[in-house]
Amino acid sequence: MIYKIRHETIYSYDDPVQLSHNLAHLHPIDGFRQSVSFFQLTVAPEPAVISERVDGWGNLAHFLLVQEAHKEFRIVAESTVEVKPAHLPILVETQVWEEVAASMRPRPRGAVAIASQFRHPSPFVPALAQAREYALKSFIPSRSIAEAAFDLMHRIHEEFEYDPKATSVATPLAEVFSCKHGVCQDFSHAMIGCLRSLGLPARYVSGYLETRPPPGKPRLVGADASHAWVQFWCPDWGWIDLDPTNDVSPSERHVTVAVGRDFGDVTPLKGLLLGGGGQVVRVSVDVAPLEGNSQGNFRRMSQQQMQQQ
């Protein structure tokens, strides 16, 4: 699948902002079943400084410094991304989960060493006895890691209720386990906490999910939204995506933007500002499949080539 994506964020302030420093994770990952042929960032007011860097988790991030006084800040990220299907192992043939956990200690090397960074607690995913107790119902002794992880995903989907009003970004993970209500961010943090409680690497994925209208109904522009899901480490296979909110293994309809330990590492936009007072935030995301959506009809161009035309 090939998508044109437009992600717009507008901050409106009660008082003028005199200075703002912003960090944006809006560039989709180029690699891991994806290829990005075009990306453009439009910012108003125009930043005095705009630079890009690769963060500690391998994501391409943009730093923006705005020195002009403003009461509205608008940032639009536009991209064209090709997403290839996912291929999964035979679940019961993957390594036993206790062996995977043991392989993370004491001094893993290579890809295992990189994966092992994601088995430790993080600010949004602390170590919880609740998480371990919940995980062990799926991770029974000598069960294959993929079979157990998929079972955990199914249980979270069935036992947690999607409720946008139940939680906020600041809701502690312990409260999410207690009430079993929340949104995709909460479901993902819960699953990550379960996996890490057993010494297994798991990371948070920020991205987009193409939403399809009911038959006979038109697409609503801007109705798509940022989404979150999970990746767990499977030896001899690599990272495998699981979406506990929708009870699926992400494939062509999921577009990956960034990966990290938790939501705090991959927030689409965050920063510091001087002034502003109260604020209102509006976010609109549109994920539109390209017409003639096939590789044969898609002319690949680099970002530089697109900008030159």
Q: Are residues 244 and 95 in the same domain?
A: yes
Q: Are residues 197 and 245 in the same domain?
A: yes
**Confidence (pLDDT) at 223:** 59
Contact (Cβ atoms closer than 8 angstroms) between residue 16 and residue 71: yes
**Confidence (pLDDT) at 125:** 98
Three-state DSSP class for residue 93: helix
Q: Calculate the dihedral angle through the C-alpha atoms of 173, 177, 179, 181, rounding to the nearest 10 degrees.
A: 80
Whether 135 maps to a domain, the answer reads yes
Q: Are residues 140 and 244 in the same domain?
A: yes
Q: Are residues 206 and 242 in the same domain?
A: yes
Q: Which residues of 169-189 are buried (b: 16+ CB within 10 A; e: fewer)?
A: eebebeebbeebbbbbbbbbb
Q: Are residues 75 and 103 in the same domain?
A: no
Q: Are residues 109 and 212 in the same domain?
A: yes
146: CATH: 3.10.620.30
Q: Are residues 80 and 9 in the same domain?
A: yes
**Confidence (pLDDT) at 200:** 97
For Cα atoms 253, 256, 259, give the angle at the middle one, nearest 5 degrees.
Answer: 145
Whether 15 maps to a domain, the answer reads yes
Structural domain including 172 reads 91-250
Whether 182 maps to a domain, the answer reads yes
Q: Are residues 151 and 296 in the same domain?
A: no
Other CB atoms within a 10 A radius of the CB of residue 108 amount to 16
Give the up-direction half-sphere exposure of residue 270: CA atoms within 13 A in the CB hemisphere.
Answer: 9
**Confidence (pLDDT) at 108:** 75
**Confidence (pLDDT) at 302:** 29
Distances, alpha carbon 86 to alpha carbons 34, 74, 172, 204, 253, in Å: 10, 34, 32, 18, 10
In residues, how long is the chain?
A: 309
Domain count, the chain: 2
Give the tokens for residue 240.
């495998």
pTM over 0.75: yes
**Confidence (pLDDT) at 124:** 97
Whether 255 maps to a domain, the answer reads no
Whether 55 maps to a domain, the answer reads yes
Per-residue pLDDT for the chain (309 aa), expressed as one digit of tens each? 999 999 999 999 999 999 999 999 999 999 989 999 999 999 999 999 999 999 999 999 999 999 999 999 999 999 999 999 999 999 999 999 999 999 987 777 788 888 999 999 999 999 999 999 999 999 999 999 999 999 999 999 999 999 999 999 899 999 999 999 999 999 999 999 999 999 999 999 999 998 777 677 766 554 577 899 999 999 989 999 999 999 999 989 999 999 999 999 999 999 999 998 899 999 999 999 987 554 433 333 223 322 332
274 burial type by CB count under 10 A (0-12 exposed, 13-18 middle, 19+ buried): exposed
Long-range contacts of 48-56 (CB under 8 A, 24+ apart): 52/27, 55/25, 55/265
Whether 258 maps to a domain, the answer reads no
Q: Rounded distance, CA 41 to CA 27, Å?
A: 9
Q: Are residues 97 and 213 in the same domain?
A: yes
Whether 260 maps to a domain, the answer reads no
54: which strand partners? Answer: 60
Q: Rounded distance, CA 79 to CA 241, Å?
A: 22
Distances, alpha carbon 11 to alpha carbons 72, 234, 273, in Å: 6, 40, 12
Q: Are residues 145 and 239 in the same domain?
A: yes
6: which strand partners? Answer: 78, 286
Q: Are residues 162 and 225 in the same domain?
A: yes
The residue whose two tokens read 């699926």 is 248
Pairing relation of β-strands 70-83 and 34-44? antiparallel
